Structure 1
Amino acid sequence: MAHIPHFITDLALILAVAGVTTLFFKKIHQPVVLGYIIAGLLVGPHVSLFPTVMDSEGVRTWSEIGVIFLLFSLGLEFSFKKLVKVGGTASVTALVEVAIMFGLGLLTGKLLGWTSIDSLFLGAILSISSTTIIVRAFDETGVRTKKFATLVFGILIIQDLVAVLLMVLLSTFAASQQFSGYDLLIQILKLVFFLTLWFLAGIFFIPTFLKRARNLLNDETMLVVSIALCLLMVLLAVEVGFSAALGAFIMGSILAETSQGERIELLVKPVKNLFAAVFFVSVGMMIDPGVLQLYAQPILIITFIVIIGMPLATILGSLLSGQSLKHSIQAGMSLSQIGEFSFIIASLGVTLKVTSEFLYPIAVAVSAVTTFTTPFLIKRSMSVYTFAEKRLPKKWINSLNRYSTSSQQLSAYSEWKELLHSYFINAVIHAVLIGALIILSRKYIHPVVSELFDKPLGGNITAIVITLVLMIPSIWAISIRRINKEAYSNLWLNRKLNRGPLIAIEIGRIAMAVLLVGLMINQYFSPSVSFLIAVVAMAIATVLFNQKLQAFYDRIEKRFLSNLNDKEHERGLKQEITPWDAHLATFDVQPEFPLAGKQLLELKLREQYGVNIALIERGKLSLISPDRHERLYPGDKLSIIGTDDQLARMKDVFENSPHETSEQHVNEDEIALQNFTVTRESPLYQRTIRNSGIRDHAQGLVVGLERNGNRMLNPESTIPLEEGDIVWIVGVRNRIEEFFKGQSK
């Protein structure tokens, strides 16, 4: 009989034991991740009940592949557009929580007498909650349709990005054993540079490739192509000094923006599950029960910090961001555990050989305990809120409610804000592209062309000319391109005082372009010569090629935006809308649905259930704020706004669970929620909602009304609007903004 390599027998042992333990954990309704860890403990070198893995190095190699696929899958669920859309509330909450927990972890490590590097890694481990555990707990407790769940998912998105940043920074610190503010700034700028560059290049090329090859990409070839792209980005990330996990995460985020993102996620899932299982088993193999017993006291202390500190930090951040006390407490008590990212950060310390042996098993033990406590804390969150509301002074409660309401008010339209934001984004994007071309020129173009000339001067000039030609579109965009023309014209014409700052901005743009060109030329000539060549080159390009550059740039921008929005165009419009306790959930009209074919007028959903239908998706047709005569047909997808209880009743009506409209389904540019305050000068003053013109002019639907501190969700259309009323409208974003802007004039 042929000899079987140890790795195959080890893999058979790992999967067999993991299969049994995960079946048991499924039976007792616990996350399978814990089953994998227990399986690793059983087949590891520290427990003799089962045969032991022979080739530990081989298992470690496969576990590293598991990390790559795990981060790739997280990237597919992440996407950069979703990061932009989670809003300030989730961002502020997540950053406050991460800062507090990182500080608590660092302080705890120091008080326990650990080294600085162990304390730093502990802070990072305690900063990140577990997406896997939270999703599982939400399913088990039935709270995925609750409003606070949307906030939690937004926080998890920010935490994922912070975790990636922490991995980069900790890797840098581990390599140099020195960490200063300058090092931190350089690493952040380097990360931002490459993230922006990879995202721009990825969105420009990859969606186009996938669309043109669509007919050739069956499930098999799509899986192979996706994994190939993932591994290529892994190689690229390692080449520029980042971790393999970061490269996998970035490629997943890029593919998530394509119309094939969900398909790729589905195809990769079995591969990810297999290799992730090996990774989590390898986590368990590193646990020494003797170490756990020896460090029982630190484990209890750190577990207490996670269970108490993380919810309190989240509650504080949520309140600061403008959330109500109820939703802050519910979100805080959901984020009370550590999980897969904490394992990855802990394994990073082991791989780099900079952390002590006890830190890894301690992190796993804390994760195991907090996993069991998470569902209990989620279920008890309403009781904690009720207790807090009764015990806190009434004045505090009223102040929190006023702060929450005022933070959700429509911010004043500022043309300066819009213009500066547009200029900033334009400058960052094209500065990154120019920086990439400078690096490309120095490392690849110049060495190649230098071989064609006997003297260095010829090679230098040729490299400069080629690089300048490639840089021209970006240089033109930074210095000449008109951005947000309407806002610029209004600012220039409305007040003469605006003209000075506007001229200064234009001069600054030109100076920035000259500086970037000069930096490129300075690699080959002196600064004075470089500056002169830069000015002359820009002047010639502007005079001779302005119109052609405009047309060329428009084509590039159109293609980029088309690729960026391709996913939304194919999927349609869905939006999370959250006035007070109301939010949006979607329901499918099944063929056997007894109310199919009836008009909304006949259904009387508002009268019977207090909800509103904000959107009907019918194939590629999207009906926003449908009128009362619209009918429901089998296959329709309804986006319904209501409270948790109202949507729960709608779930019973439709006899199937709603698909939560999380950040994965947001198209913020099309449908949105806005509010405004009625004044005596307002044309809406003393008009009823029905006669206000909101539906006709803003294509909007009134879903909330606040009067003298009293809030009415989905108010009657016969209610007249009074001075001081705050009216909440859902509808087409552009029309609502025009409607508000018209009133403010």
Structure 2
Amino acid sequence: MVSELPTLLDAGIILIGIFLLGYIGLKTNFPNVILYILFGIALAGLMHHNSILHFSSEVAIVLLFFLLGLEFNTRRLGGIAKKIWSSGFLDVGLSLGVTMIIAFGFGMDWFSSFLIGGLAYATSSSITAKLLDDKGRMANAETEYILGILIFEDLIAPIIVAILIALSTGEAFSGLDLAMLLGKIVGLAVVAIILSKTLFKRFEQFLLKIEDEDFKIVLLVGIAVTYGGLAVSLGLSEVLGAFLAGVMLAEIGKIERVEGTVTPIKNLLLPTFFVYFGTTIDMGSGVPMPVLLIILLVWSMLAKILVGTIGGKLYGLTKRVSLRAGLSLCARGEFSVVIASVAAGSIKVFGGIYIVVSAFLGMLLFNYAPKITTRIYGKPEKKKRNLKVPT
């Protein structure tokens, strides 16, 4: 059904709906991502072609990855790679690689298999970080490892999206095409690093001279959107370009000034990305490939538990703490939505259902992780303190 409502009225309905769902999520501690996607699915027939919703969702995802890139200066990237690389590549192999093989076994082509592998790969940073904070587990032994895995996935996910965008054209893709694609990615990254060391070397001082906050917003959003657009013009994804734009500015002294200016705009627009994704899902034909969906849900949960139990040991955690880490990594969310947005038809519907169910199951496993760990390994022994009696 084509929308009969004015575009501006559509926008007002969406904003009020986002407020109500955000309020419900705040009061119930239920992930807003799931609520926004379900809201979009409910509005699919009414607002499928809403131009404002589409544009705001594009800008929102650019700003999300721009702010993510701000966290990664070149020194930090090197430090993370040294500490978490073995567990990170284990995650890639289990969550992405094995899932691809499962999908291929169900008769899917390599592109669809890679896309479904991407869906199952990245843990939701927003859901996991929120649960760690809500449950008072930020100081736990496994939290550093969990955050390390999330950061590693944050680095890999934009590359996966860039490859999917290139493959989605439907044209034949040879080894030479892959080499050219990787060359574009490396080239775009090198340009970002060069600009960070030259043009943006004194960017912090320049920002301090701009007293009007509105002009700062225009400048910073402009940088993020421009570099994202440059990536698109090269046949890559705006996600990768925005991430590299953040890396480009990450070398400045205090990134808090940039984050403080851009974050409110991102927070305002980001829900529209999930709502828009929901509006692109047509549930009229029911649940596609239910057997694959069930198998994928089971395997993707198990894969993250293995990333915790095996990767945690490689990281130096105990068996108990490693299992608790694995049970806390199962929720999928924003990165899976970005990857699913590349799909079309039944695979997009499949991806939407997978994301909603896996986010809910991941949240349950996170909540019950301490109890499950205690059930398997028993209650942890209290450390004995060597008290010295004063003489």
Q: Same fold (TM over 0.5)?
A: yes
- Pairing 1:277–2:265 present: no
Distance 1:273 1:304, change over 3 A: same
Distance 1:304 1:62, change over 3 A: same
Distance 1:334 1:177, change over 3 A: farther
Q: Deviations over 1:450-469 (max 9, x none)?
A: xxxxxxxxxxxxxxxxxxxx
Contact 1:148/1:327 (<8 A) preserved: yes
What is the match of residue 204 of structure 2? 210
1:144 to 114, 138, 145: 138
Distance 1:374 1:196, change over 3 A: same
% of aligned pairs identical? 25
CA distance in 2, matches of 1:54, 1:198: 36
What is the match of residue 304 of structure 2? 310
Q: For the aligned residues, what is the CA RMSD?
A: 2.9
Report matched runs for 1:390-539 at 5 Å.
none
Secondary structure in 2 matching 1:348: coil
Q: Deviations over 1:284-325 (max 9, x none)?
A: 112333444354433322221222222213432333344432
Q: Deviations over 1:160-199 (max 9, x none)?
A: 1111111122223233644455544443344223313311
For 1:243, the aligned partner's letter is: S
CA distance in 1, matches of 2:247, 2:264: 19
- Pairing 1:371–2:359 present: yes
What is the match of residue 12 of structure 2? 12
- Pairing 1:25–2:25 present: yes
| Post-superposition offset of 1:261 | 1.4
What is the match of residue 509 of structure 1? none
CA distance in 2, matches of 1:291, 1:186: 39
| Post-superposition offset of 1:275 | 2.1
What is the match of residue 575 of structure 1? none
CA distance in 2, matches of 1:269, 1:292: 38
User: Which stretches in structure 1 are left out of the alignment for 5+ residues?
Assistant: 46-51, 351-356, 391-580, 582-644, 646-710, 717-745
Distance 1:312 1:373, change over 3 A: same
What is the match of residue 396 of structure 1? none
CA distance in 2, matches of 1:200, 1:97: 31
Contact 1:78/1:157 (<8 A) preserved: no
| Post-superposition offset of 1:363 | 2.1
What is the match of residue 682 of structure 1? none
For 1:364, the aligned partner's letter is: G
CA distance in 1, matches of 2:217, 2:73: 19
For 1:42, the aligned partner's letter is: A
Q: Deviations over 1:232-287 (max 9, x none)?
A: 22233234432222111111222233234112212212211222111111111123
CA distance in 2, matches of 1:251, 1:241: 17
Contact 1:42/1:285 (<8 A) preserved: yes
Contact 1:134/1:334 (<8 A) preserved: yes
Flag the structure with higher strand content: 1
Contact 1:67/1:276 (<8 A) preserved: yes
| Post-superposition offset of 1:148 | 1.2
Name whichever of 312-321 and 114-123 sits farther off.
312-321
- Pairing 1:108–2:102 present: yes
CA distance in 2, matches of 1:291, 1:114: 19
Secondary structure in 1 matching 2:281: coil
| Post-superposition offset of 1:122 | 0.2
Secondary structure in 1 matching 2:236: coil
| Post-superposition offset of 1:215 | 2.7
Distance 1:106 1:714, change over 3 A: farther
Higher relative contact order (CA 8 A, sep 6+): 2
Distance 1:301 1:54, change over 3 A: closer
Report matched runs for 1:314-393 at 5 Å.
314-350=308-344, 357-386=345-374, 388-389=376-377
For 1:256, the aligned partner's letter is: A
Contact 2:168/2:342 (<8 A) preserved: no
Q: Deviations over 1:141-169 (max 9, x none)?
A: 21011121111111111111111111122
CA distance in 2, matches of 1:144, 1:122: 31
Secondary structure in 2 matching 1:145: coil
CA distance in 2, matches of 1:138, 1:266: 23
Contact 2:327/2:365 (<8 A) preserved: yes
Secondary structure in 1 matching 2:82: helix
Secondary structure in 1 matching 2:200: helix
| Post-superposition offset of 1:78 | 4.1
For 1:327, the aligned partner's letter is: V
What is the match of residue 295 of structure 2? 301
- Pairing 1:117–2:76 present: no
| Post-superposition offset of 1:386 | 4.6
For 2:369, the aligned partner's letter is: S
What is the match of residue 131 of structure 1? 125
| Post-superposition offset of 1:11 | 0.7
What is the match of residue 36 of structure 1? 36
2:63 to 65, 69, 73: 69
CA distance in 1, matches of 2:78, 2:19: 39
Q: Deviations over 1:465-486 (max 9, x none)?
A: xxxxxxxxxxxxxxxxxxxxxx
Scaled by the length of structure 2, the TM-score of the pair is 0.87
What is the match of residue 552 of structure 1? none
Q: Deviations over 1:54-106 (max 9, x none)?
A: 74344323322222122223223444433222253422212211121112221
Name whichever of 219-228 and 283-292 sits farther off.
283-292
Secondary structure in 1 matching 2:258: helix
For 1:88, the aligned partner's letter is: K
CA distance in 1, matches of 2:365, 2:280: 29
| Post-superposition offset of 1:33 | 1.4
CA distance in 2, matches of 1:288, 1:240: 31
Contact 1:237/1:243 (<8 A) preserved: yes
Scaled by the length of structure 1, the TM-score of the pair is 0.48
Distance 1:20 1:386, change over 3 A: closer
Contact 1:256/1:262 (<8 A) preserved: no
For 1:374, the aligned partner's letter is: G
CA distance in 1, matches of 2:51, 2:386: 62
Distance 1:213 1:299, change over 3 A: closer
CA distance in 2, matches of 1:142, 1:316: 25
CA distance in 2, matches of 1:200, 1:247: 15
CA distance in 1, matches of 2:386, 2:232: 54
Secondary structure in 1 matching 2:8: helix
CA distance in 2, matches of 1:165, 1:146: 31
For 1:333, the aligned partner's letter is: L
Contact 2:90/2:307 (<8 A) preserved: yes
For 2:154, the aligned partner's letter is: D
CA distance in 1, matches of 2:355, 2:300: 9
1:232 to 226, 229, 236: 226
For 1:221, the aligned partner's letter is: F
| Post-superposition offset of 1:226 | 0.9
Distance 1:176 1:371, change over 3 A: closer
CA distance in 2, matches of 1:13, 1:20: 11
Q: Deviations over 1:422-448 (max 9, x none)?
A: xxxxxxxxxxxxxxxxxxxxxxxxxxx
CA distance in 1, matches of 2:19, 2:167: 38
> How many residues are matched?
383
CA distance in 2, matches of 1:54, 1:349: 16
1:242 to 236, 241, 253: 236
Secondary structure in 2 matching 1:86: helix
What is the match of residue 432 of structure 1? none
Q: Deviations over 1:498-530 (max 9, x none)?
A: xxxxxxxxxxxxxxxxxxxxxxxxxxxxxxxxx
Distance 1:313 1:72, change over 3 A: same
